Amino acid sequence: MNTSARTRTSSHTEFDAIVIGAGFGGLYMLHKLRDELGLNVRVFDKADDVGGTWYWNRYPGALSDTETYLYCYSFDKALLQEWDWNTRYVNQPDILAYLNHVADRFDLRRDIQFETAVTGARFDETNGRWIVATDTGATYSAKYLVTALGLLSATNVPQFNGIETFAGEQYHTGNWPPNVRLAGKRVGVIGTGSTGLQVITAIAPEVKHLTVFQRTPQYSVPVGNGIVPDEEIAGIKANYDAIWKDVKASMTAFGFHESTVPAMSVSAEERERVFERAWQRGGGFRFMFGTFSDIATDEAANEAAAEFIRKKIARIVKDPATAEKLTPRDYYAKRPLCDSGYYAVYNRDNVTLEDVKANPVAEVLPHGIRLEDGTEHELDVLIYATGFDGVDGSYTKLDLRGRGGELIRDHWKHGPTSYLGMTVNKFPNMFMVLGPNGPFTNLPPSIETQVEWICECIAHTERAGHDIVEATRAAEDSWSANCKEIADATLFGKGNSWIFGANIPGKPHAVMFYMAGLGSYREVLSEVVAEDYRGFEITDVTPAVEHAGAAGR
Ligand code: FAD
Ligand code: NAP
């Protein structure tokens, strides 16, 4: 961690723009607004340094599943050339080092106030400014509010009976402290999503005993990590312009050729060959979108991919009863997973798998976990790899109020909505980075797309000499309906996961992504600008009553 993190910010309380979050999104937003538009900006983050996801998720095995050369910013050519890497995928310490480097290189820390949680923000209709409250007790104001809160940032900790009685150590992977020692300990991991797979695979060889509490088995393919030859890296660095152009025009933005071939249009032998090649090459998104064009949309294609993975599990896992517990039978329709030898972990003598759907956790005891059938597992450490209240979870926890004092969680009571994944009617001059119904992709290029669009929208409003930019209710409704229509044409809605809000008890099952891809998203954003900010009202401060009529909600 960079020791200059706590560089003191000024004591001013009034800004042109306030940005919440100092991850990929917030850092770039600060650079654009301050260094390009010349605005006076303050960033707040509750962490004590930059990094966002990569600051918080320091659990063993944390690795990006986007190839290294695309899990970075593209906006600065020199930055792309000077950042050295040599593994196909980049691990958490290296991503955090990269973001620290970016913060230093663009001198960002002087405008970031760390260890400061924003507790709420309120739009003041009398002067068109946002009043932002923090946990330090101080309040700040700004004309523009950018929320780069992260879509996987609010942790989900299950409410097991007796959780507070556990006498050992308990950690959520998304809030992992430094210097945790697991070697020689009896460890339990709850959760087998992307995170669970990584942490389980990483710690199995070092712990005394590992008990995995699995609720839903997962389809996963190898990640295919390894050293990238120098010539390949040189080729990438020489061709970055063309690479980014293609990536930003693609659907998933993961850098591989997205298949246009339907799975059932080829013979069963050819399908097997294509799946096997992708399995050997590695990568979850590549397996789902690079093999055939319709794995995520066609039932037969989906079943073919699912069955290929099921057969792999049966071959890898030696104990048939364990293999059966690990074998998913539902759709292959969650954010695709990949791993570094996950299924083989269950061939180890020191690893036990418990199916907590069949035999749920009854309670946490001081010395471990008791399941409903009375089985007790003695544990020194309990790890919650139980994911996040994704996408809108960081918003609904805030006292975030737009026109008329409307709370965002009330505005979203039937599920989160937005216009373009960035704006919400009745929340003028507020822009979300990776807000609900933004693109479902490798995220840095989508983050850059949104940050650049937000910056241009603010510049446009300023050039026009206006106070307020606000999405109309009609535009928000229409974008949300469009996202639903696109998502309904896929099988994703049938896979219960965070991407539809299905992982949080009581949360409405809702479409939370624009699933038509980054290329198409960028085209829509360009059209909106070309049509003079279609779907926005760019106006001056007016009394609340008049505006409520225009906005109609
Ligand atoms: P974040 O990095 O989440 O940053 C948000 C920041 O906002 C945090 O620092 C948080 O402290 C701060 N914050 C939130 N609320 C408040 C508040 N109220 N007050 C003050 N500060 C606040 N994406 C990919 O594309 N590829 C991958 O391989 C990939 N791997 C991932 C692995 C893990 C373990 C996780 C959890 C996510 C992964 N993601 C991946 C998604 C990842 O979150 C994004 O790629 C990206 O890092 C998001 O950046 P961000 O700036 O939008 O949000
Ligand atoms: P997740 O996908 O939501 O998985 C959470 C796991 O915890 C699931 O297995 C879930 O079971 C289980 N769980 C939740 N509550 C439980 C309870 N009360 N009892 C028992 N089990 C419970 O979360 P995640 O693994 O942290 O991943 C979230 C996202 O982060 C990923 O989809 C991805 O976008 C990103 N990520 C990426 C990588 C990467 O490879 N680059 C790594 C980590 C994370 P159910 O399935 O039954 O709900």
Residue-wise pLDDT tens digits, 249-273: 999 999 999 999 999 999 999 999 9
Average pLDDT (158-170) is: 97
Residue 551 has pLDDT above 70, yes or no: no
The residue to mutate among 195, 225, 441, having the most atoms of ligand 2 within 8 angstroms of its beta carbon, is 195
Residue 173 has phi, psi (to 5 degrees) of -60, -25
Query: Are 142 and 129 in contact, with CB atoms under 8 Å apart?
Result: yes
Q: Give Cα separations from 129 to 78, 429, 478, 541 (angstroms).
A: 37, 8, 27, 10
What is the atom index within ligand 1 of the atom nearest the CA of 441? 25
Between the CA of 190 and the centroid of ligand 2 the distance, in Å, is: 10
Q: Give Cα separations from 297 to 82, 289, 334, 490, 521 (angstroms).
A: 40, 11, 12, 4, 19
Q: Note the pLDDT of residue 545.
A: 44
Cα four-point dihedral sign 46, 47, 48, 49: negative
Which DSSP category does 389 fall into? Answer: -
Is the minimum distance from the CB of 356 to ligand 2 under 6 angstroms?
yes
Percentage of the chain lying above the pLDDT 70 cut: 97
Which DSSP category does 43 fall into? Answer: E
Q: Count the Cβ atoms, other than its own, within 10 Å of residue 129.
A: 21
Q: Note the pLDDT of residue 550.
A: 33
The ligand whose atoms approach the alpha carbon of 444 most closely is 1
Residue 547 has pLDDT above 50, yes or no: no
Closest C-alpha residue for ligand 2 atom 2: 193
Cα–Cα nearest to 254, from 441, 39, 517, 502: 441
Between the CA of 317 and the centroid of ligand 1 the distance, in Å, is: 34
Average pLDDT (155-182) is: 97
468-471 and 536-539 strand pairing: antiparallel
The residue to mutate among 1, 27, 43, 53, having the most atoms of ligand 1 within 8 angstroms of its beta carbon, is 53
Burial of 303 (0-12, 13-18, 19+ CB in 10 A): middle
Between the CA of 195 and the centroid of ligand 1 the distance, in Å, is: 14
In the structure, what pLDDT confidence band is assigned to residue 6 with cuts at 50, 70 and 90?
very low
Both tokens assigned to 47: 């962490």
Residue type present at position 102: V
**pLDDT for 319-361, tens place per residue?**
999 999 999 999 999 999 999 999 999 999 999 999 999 999 9
Distance CA 145, CA 41 (A): 10
Residue type present at position 362: A
Is the minimum distance from the CB of 92 to ligand 2 under 6 angstroms?
no
Is the minimum distance from the CB of 116 to ligand 2 under 6 angstroms?
no
The answer to whether the predicted template modeling score (pTM) of the entire model surpasses 0.85 is yes
User: Three-state DSSP class for 220?
Assistant: strand
In the structure, what pLDDT confidence band is assigned to residue 549 with cuts at 50, 70 and 90?
very low
Cα–Cα nearest to 150, from 459, 467, 392, 470: 392
Percentage of the chain lying above the pLDDT 90 cut: 93
Residue 159 has pLDDT above 80, yes or no: yes
Residue 388 has phi, psi (to 5 degrees) of -135, 155
Q: Note the pLDDT of residue 543.
A: 56
Q: Note the pLDDT of residue 203.
A: 98
Q: Note the pLDDT of residue 508.
A: 86
Cα–Cα nearest to 422, from 437, 409, 410, 401: 437
Q: Note the pLDDT of residue 11.
A: 75
Distance CA 356, CA 371 (A): 8
Q: Count the Cβ atoms, other than its own, within 10 Å of residue 381.
A: 20
Cα–Cα nearest to 420, from 282, 514, 279, 518: 514
Residue 542 has pLDDT above 90, yes or no: no
Residue 8 has pLDDT above 90, yes or no: no
**pLDDT for 453-495, tens place per residue?**
999 999 999 999 999 999 999 999 999 999 999 999 999 988 7
Is the minimum distance from the CB of 411 to ligand 2 under 6 angstroms?
no
Q: Which has the minimum average pLDDT: 193-197, 363-367, 498-502?
A: 498-502
**pLDDT for 494-504, tens place per residue?**
878 999 998 99
Between the CA of 56 and the centroid of ligand 2 the distance, in Å, is: 15
Query: Are 49 and 5 in contact, with CB atoms under 8 Å apart?
Result: yes
Closest C-alpha residue for ligand 2 atom 36: 194
The ligand whose atoms approach the alpha carbon of 212 most closely is 2
Q: Give Cα separations from 495 to 39, 136, 166, 417 (angstroms).
A: 43, 41, 33, 21
Closest C-alpha residue for ligand 2 atom 4: 193
- DSSP assignment of 435-465 equals -TTEE-S-HHHHHHHHHHHHHHHHHHHHHTT
Average pLDDT (30-39) is: 98
Q: Note the pLDDT of residue 5.
A: 43
Is the minimum distance from the CB of 194 to ligand 2 under 6 angstroms?
yes
Residue 548 has pLDDT above 80, yes or no: no
**pLDDT for 114-157, tens place per residue?**
999 999 999 999 999 999 999 999 999 999 999 999 999 999 99
Cα four-point dihedral sign 14, 402, 457, 245: positive
Q: How far apart are the first and last CA of the chain?
A: 46
Residue 499 has phi, psi (to 5 degrees) of -70, -10
Residue 546 has pLDDT above 60, yes or no: no
Closest C-alpha residue for ligand 1 atom 30: 64
Closest C-alpha residue for ligand 1 atom 6: 21
The residue to mutate among 155, 156, 215, 447, having the most atoms of ligand 2 within 8 angstroms of its beta carbon, is 215
| 179 Cβ contact partners less than 8 Å away, ≥ 6 residues apart | none
Q: Note the pLDDT of residue 324.
A: 98
Both tokens assigned to 367: 């010395």
Distance CA 195, CA 337 (A): 9
Provide residues with CB under 6 Å of ligand 1. Answer: 20-26, 44-47, 52-53, 55, 57, 62, 64-66, 71, 117-118, 148-150, 152-153, 195, 394, 398, 433-434, 442-443, 447
Is the minimum distance from the CB of 340 to ligand 2 under 6 angstroms?
no
Between the CA of 383 and the centroid of ligand 2 the distance, in Å, is: 12
Between the CA of 150 and the centroid of ligand 1 the distance, in Å, is: 4
Q: What is the mean pLDDT of the chain?
A: 95
Both tokens assigned to 356: 């907590």
The ligand whose atoms approach the alpha carbon of 399 most closely is 1
Query: Are 424 and 476 in contact, with CB atoms under 8 Å apart?
Result: yes
The residue to mutate among 157, 500, 503, having the most atoms of ligand 2 within 8 angstroms of its beta carbon, is 503
